[in-house]
Amino acid sequence: MKRTSLVIRISQSVAIATLAFLWLPLFVVVAFSFEPEAAAVHLTGFTFAWYERVWEQGGMLHALYLSVELGLGSAILGTVIGALLAVGLHRYRGRGFAVLALIVYLPIVMPDVIYGISQMVFFNYLHQLIGWPRAGLVTMGIAHVSFQIPYVALVVYARLVGLDRNLVHAAADLYASPWKSVYAFWLPVLKPALIAGFLLAFTLSLDDFVISFFTSGPGSVTLPIYIWGTIARHGVTPETNAIASLMIGAVLLVALGQTFIRARRNGHLLTDTA
């Protein structure tokens, strides 16, 4: 028994060190964003100067605005299409199911670089052919929706599988028009999954860099692309630290908010999204 507890103790230390490993880089970035010395290796003081510099440079706020616009727009479209797909997949499980499943899984397993480059090439040829679409928020939006659809579909599908089949059939018989059944039955039943799917889609959009990078145009510098630009041009700088810290701060705020809402609604904190 003593030996087991030693194993457990080692395992616990490794686990705690791993948690520290996950957070250390973020702490370093935030700490150095307040460091007055530009090329410092050790912390020597405290200043807000870099944040002021970032604020003065502008650009970042506009980038944030574009990110949110893209995130919201694509997530709405992605949620609607993804949810419909889930309903269809659940209802009409037939011989073609495997093919359909492939459509859901392909975007998830496709490496980002291939995803982005092939769409960029495709949009380019399409533009030459029919004069649409011009690279920018529209092409980024199309790309984002395409990777949001499967994730939303999976979330909604999971909810549908959990439903009683008889209930679903009864609902189908009960309402005369399909429209009525949509808002009287499907919307209320699927509401939690739709909200979770939407949030997931929004997060995916904000987190994506590679696909956005390849499908973006001159006027669509979203926040990740803006940050990338400053890193690619100037490497590690206090200003970049400040921008990155703001992004880390925003993520923390969203996470805390979400946890708080969930805690109030469920009475406990357990999360069900990936």
Partner 1 sequence: MNPLARKTAGLAASIGPGVTWITLFLFLPGLLMGVLAFMSNSPYGQPTLPFTTAAFSQVAGYSFLGWSPGNIEVIGRSLLQALYATFATIALAYPLAFLIARAPERRRAGLLMLVIIPSWTNQVVRAYAWMQILAPGTPLSHLAVTLGLLPQHMGLYPSSFAVSMGLIYNYLPYMVLPLYASVEKLDWRLVDAARDLYANGWRVFWHGVFPQTVPGLLAGIILVAIPSFGAYIVPKLLGGDRSVMLGNLIAQQFSSMPNWPFSAALTLVMLLFTFLGLILFRRMARRLNAGEANLL
Partner 2 sequence: MKTLKYLIPLALAAVLPVTASAQETLNLFNWTDYMNPKVIKQFEKKYHVKVVQTYYSSNAELLAKLMAGGDSQYDVVVPSSYLIQRLVETHLIRKLNKAELPNFKNLAPQFQNTSYDPHDTYAIPYQWGTTGLAYDTRKFKNPPQTWGILFDKKVNPSYPFAMMGGSGQDIIGAACAYQGHGMGCDKLADWKSAAKLLIETKQRHNFVGFVDGTPALHQLEKGIIAAGLVYNGDLAQAMENSPEATKYIKYIIPKGGAEIWVDNMAIPSHAPHPKLAHEFINFILDAKIGAELSNWNVYASPNAAAKPYLDKVLNSRLVQPTAAEWKRLQFVPVLKGEKLTQFKAIWSAVREH
Site for partner 2, residues 93 to 132, rule: CB under 8 A: 120-121, 123-124, 127-128, 130-132
| Residues contacting partner 2: total by CB under 8 A | 37
Residue 255 interaction partner, one of partner 1, partner 2, none, beta carbon < 5-8 Å per kind: partner 1
Closer of 167 and 255 to partner 1 (Cβ): 255
Does 174 contact partner 1 by CB under 8 A? no
Which of 36, 49, 112, 175 is close enough to bind partner 1 by CB under 8 A? 112
Does 261 contact partner 1 by CB under 8 A? no
Does 176 contact partner 1 by CB under 8 A? no
Residues 139 and 145: their CA atoms lie apart, in Å, by 10
Binding mask 194-233 for partner 1 (x = CB under 8 A): ---------x--xx-xx------------xx--xx--x--
Interaction residues for partner 2, span 62-81 (CB under 8 A): 69-70, 72-74, 76-77
SS (H, E, C) the chain: CHHHHHHHHHHHHHHHHHHHHHHHHHHHHHHHHCCCCCCCCCCCCCCCHHHHHHHHHCCHHHHHHHHHHHHHHHHHHHHHHHHHHHHHHHHCCCCCHHHHHHHHHHHHHCCHHHHHHHHHHHHHHHHHHHCCCCCCHHHHHHHHHHHHHHHHHHHHHHHHHHCCHHHHHHHHHHCCCHHHHHHHHHHHHHHHHHHHHHHHHHHHHHHCCHHHHHHCCCCCCCHHHHHHHHHHHHCCCHHHHHHHHHHHHHHHHHHHHHHHHHHHHHCCCCCCCC
Closer of 120 and 254 to partner 2 (Cβ): 120
Residue 84 interaction partner, one of partner 2, partner 1, none, beta carbon < 5-8 Å per kind: partner 1
Does 130 contact partner 1 by CB under 8 A? no
Does 234 contact partner 2 by CB under 8 A? yes
Does 134 contact partner 1 by CB under 8 A? no
Which of 38, 103, 114, 163 is close enough to bind partner 2 by CB under 8 A? 38
